[in-house]
Structure 1
Amino acid sequence: MNRYFLLLCVLVFTGCSLQPSQEDSNDATELTVATFNVSMEAQNYATDNENGTLGPQVLIAQLASGENPQIKNIAEIIQRTRPDIILLNEFDFIDNPKRGVQAFIDHYLKQPQQGREPIDYPYYFYGQVNTGLPTQFDLDNDGQSQGYGADAQGFGLYPGQYGMVLLSRYPLLRQQIRTFQRFLWSDMPNALAPVVPTTQEPFFSAEEWSSLRLSSKSHWDVPVNVNGRVIHVLASHPTPPVFDGDEDRNGRRNHDEIRFWQDYITPGKGSYIYDDRGVYGGAKNNAPFVILGDQNASPDKPGDTPSAIQQLLASPYVNSRFTPASEGGKRSWPDKDYGLHYTANWGARADYVLPSAHFTIEEGAVFWPQKGDPLYRLVEDRSRSSDHRLVWLKVALK
């Protein structure tokens, strides 16, 4: 199919309530923004009998019940932190919002968890992602072309695995949303294309390289109307820079997925970027933004290829002066000076809330109660909620 025809195809954007949020009438200048990798994907819930039929129906059943212990804990964490805007990573894509994101809101968030005050998100966005999207190629060069797994556009055992959902208490400017699911990796200038170390030959064939998308899930620019001020939420979830070989194909892709935002927010550097409607260009000059998501990169990991996250944190267009922390992370990693900033129980700062320089940061934290705290039950292990922690910031426009 012609590539430029694909660029003109518009994603089906699902789910939007027409009911106004109560907060819309407030004259607030403060905003709490969060990101949370919630591990709400089918493999986390499937029984042995379901492993051969993994797909969105597994999560659908858990959302409909309102009784899944892990999802109830996730809802309680959100009710305790009460963000105005939150990105959920690893929330399987379900194209029927009533059975997907709306079911999560109705059956979990709007229900009191352990006596906490319910919370509603009248506005939300989620679209299709590249994980599990089949290709005809042997992208991991293992001699088999399976279509799914490592041979998909983004690693996934079924389409929509590890998807994303954005929840908001403020209206979304839906006609202005930009998605970059179909942007090709090869169309990024100076892309870190992987090579075979022993020969320095390209790891991907020419046909594979010209067909492979940059986003392992997707990149989104979602404008939110906060009391008349438009804030752009830049959401993504780059591939982990591991599970590959000496060619470092995942590490290089992770780098370029993060670099995408660096170019997008830097005036004059994003002209090559096109969205799924075929519109070119980066962020509008001087538009406030917040970058959200599990970036799968930590600035204290010198082995990253190379550290695009360090470059993003150093951008003059990003306010990175405040680094969220937790006592739980510090106590879990006492031998790591940077451990108090970790957001994943495997030892990394992987999840980020990065406001633009338009904002001042008033406070923030990583939700990671330490052992002995009554709330430690929410994070004791992955089965309780996730192997990641919710990260939040309270910000105000200057």
Structure 2
Amino acid sequence: MENLSVRIATFNVSMEARNYQSDSAQLNAAVLDQQLQSDSAQIANIAAIIQQVRPDILLLNEFDRTANPEQTIELFQQHYLNAGLNPIEFPYRYSAPVNTGELFPMDLNGDGNISRPADTYGFGFFPGHYGMLILSRYPIALDRVRTFAKFKWKDMPAALAPKINGKPFYSAAQWQEMRLSSKSHWDVPVLIGDREIHLLASHPTPPVFDGAEDRNGRRNHDEIRLWFDYISGQADYLYDDVGERGSLTEGQSFVIAGDLNASATEGDGHRVIMQQLLSHPKIQDPAPTSVGGEQARPDQQGSEYHTAAWGMRADYVLPSSDLSIVGSGVFWPALDDAQHELVKSRRASSDHRLVWVDISL
């Protein structure tokens, strides 16, 4: 039988309301729909990048979840992905609720009110802000998807609970309620012929925008650690959103994908967790590169591996060790390439780059 090459990609597309609306009072889930029904140069460039790379399975981070997700996804498909000279069709989609913008039942910032964005399970101005979306050319086993949005941080053994001056940062009641995932963690089985690959999708919180308690840095660490435990058979403690417990089944093929907001060598996060994940015996790291990334930071060692405009490797596609990798890359054209206009700024498309890996089945 002839081998089949499958391209799996992740792309933080910055298709979130604050990228289009500066007035925080006007931020809501309808902002993205309005953009998708207009002639948005930024979204057109995002579509052009996707059309150029042509992934078979694609995780989008920072794609707001709206009141009618299927309608929003169809607007993106019909008005942008199907437009131009090189249209691309994704007949299979997966979207689900995320923790961003969901009100926490207690006052987290001590201002006497429970309000967004400060008093939420995950930072956001409305439910679904900074959401996630999976697009696929291959069928998704929707009846076997697992989501972990409601898993409590306290239930992770040896969780890195935030502390200030050696004392817990969160009150006992807050800690009992706090969820680990800032958006969600999804285990999405994709069916490719007679093979099944589990796309392990997430978007951990940036390890910044906090204080000495390091609540975001510690949360980022443990959000990444969830996948480490999940693929290691060490997640008996983990329960999904319907109450089922346990790790990924031994022998299952998987790909970890997403904007992990962490690096093994740079940035403000806990680098050790990325070092551990990238060296995990069940994971292959193809370390995709680009000329554009190297040119953007010519004096920074390892800049060819960068996936974010500010100069860091933040976005990953990490296949399990049983899969055969035949190619990889970061869409970051060289400065003298005409397509560099697509990535010259966040306003042009995003402050992240699309990362892809080809596997042979």
So what's the TM-score if we normalise by structure 2?
Answer: 0.97
Q: Distance in 1 between the 2:282 and 2:289 partners? A: 22
- Matched to 2:120, the amino acid is A
2:119 aligns with: 151
Provide the residue aligned with 1:10 in structure 2: none
User: Alpha-carbon deviations, 1:11-36, whole Å to 9, x = none?
Assistant: xxxxxxxxxxxxxxx96522100000
- Give the partner amino acid of 1:105: Q
Displacement of 1:396: 1.7
Specify the alignment match of 2:334 in structure 1.
370
Aligned to 2:206: 240
**What residue is the counterpart of 2:9 in the other structure?**
34
User: What does residue 289 of structure 2 align with?
Assistant: 325
Change (3 A) 1:192 1:81: same
Q: Is 2:265–2:271's contact at 8 Å kept on the other side of the alignment?
A: no
Deviation at 1:309, TM superposition (A): 1.2
Q: Is the 8 A contact 1:184 1:212 kept in 2?
A: yes
Instruction: Summarize deviations over 1:275-319 as a string: whole Å, max 9, x none.
Output: 011000010100000001000001112753252111110100101
Alpha-carbon distance, 1:97 to partner: 3.3
Secondary structure, counterpart of 2:250 in structure 1: coil
- Take 1:316 and 1:353, find their aligned partners in 2: how far apart are those partners? 16
Q: Are positions 1:160 and 2:128 aligned together? A: yes
Matched, 1:103 2:79: no
- C-alpha offsets along residues 357-387 of structure 1, whole Å, 9 cap, x if unaligned? 0112111111001212101110011100000
| Residue 93 (1) aligns with residue 61 (2) | no
> Partner residue of 1:61?
34
Residues 56-205 of structure 1 aligned to structure 2 (within 5 Å): 56-65=29-38, 67-112=39-84, 115=85, 117-139=86-108, 141-196=109-164, 198=165, 200-205=166-171
Shift of 1:43: 1.0
The whole-number CA distance in structure 2 between the counterparts of 1:159 and 1:337 is 39
Using the TM superposition, give the Cα deviation of residue 136 of structure 1 relative to its aligned residue in structure 2, in angstroms: 3.1
Contact 1:136 1:147 in 2 (8 A): no
Question: Structure 2 CA distance, aligned partners of 1:37 and 1:383?
Answer: 13
TM-score (norm 1): 0.88
- Deviations along 1:56-101, one digit per CA (max 9) or x if unpaired, are 1110111123x21000000000000000000000000024134311
Measured in 2, the distance between the counterparts of 1:339 and 1:302 equals: 13
- Secondary structure of the 1:210 match is helix
Partner of 2:307: 343
User: 1:252, 1:125 → 2: CA distance?
Assistant: 28
Q: Does the aligned pair in 1 maintain the 2:262–2:270 contact within 8 Å?
A: no
* Structure 2 SS opposite 1:264: helix
- Kindly provide the amino acid, as one letter, of the partner of residue 282 in structure 1: S
CA distance, structure 1, for counterparts of residue 317 and residue 101 of structure 2: 27
Distance of 2:113 and 2:252 partners within structure 1: 43
Partner of 1:216: 182
CA contact (8 A) 2:208 2:268 kept: no
Query: Are residues 376 and 303 of structure 1, via their aligned partners in 2, closer, same or farther at CA, if it must alter by over 3 Å?
Result: closer
Is residue 362–residue 396 contact of structure 1 (8 Å, CA) maintained in 2?
yes
Which AA in structure 2 matches 1:386? S
Shift of the 134–325 alpha-carbon distance from structure 1 to 2, 3 Å rule, reads same
Residue identity matched to 1:90: E
- Residues of 2 paired with 1:38 and 1:126: CA distance? 15
Is the CA contact 2:256–2:317 (under 8 Å) kept in the aligned structure 1? yes
Name the amino acid aligned to 2:197.
Answer: I
For 2:351 and 2:271, the matched residues in 1 are separated by 25
Do structure 1's residue 334 and structure 2's residue 298 form an aligned pair? yes
Q: C-alpha displacement at 1:146, in angstroms?
A: 3.6
- Distance in 2, matches of 1:223 and 1:28, equals 20
Q: In structure 1, how many angstroms separate the alpha carbons of the residues matched to 2:268 and 2:43?
A: 34
C-alpha contact (below 8 Å) 1:33/1:86 kept by paired residues: yes
Give 1:4's aligned residue: none
Q: Is the 8 A contact 2:323 2:360 kept in 1?
A: yes
Q: Which moved more, 1:92-101 or 1:291-300?
A: 92-101
Alignment gaps of 5+ in structure 2: none
SS in 1 for 2:66: coil
How far apart are the structure 1 equivalents of 2:271 and 2:156?
Answer: 17
* Residue equivalent to 2:253: 288
Helix, strand or coil for the counterpart of 1:389? Answer: coil
Deviation at 1:142, TM superposition (A): 4.9
Deviations 1:232-291 (A, max 9, x none): 000000000000001100000000000000000002x01111101100001010000000
RMSD: 1.4
Is residue 182–residue 204 contact of structure 2 (8 Å, CA) maintained in 1? yes
1:11 corresponds in structure 2 to none
Secondary structure in 2 matching 1:38: strand
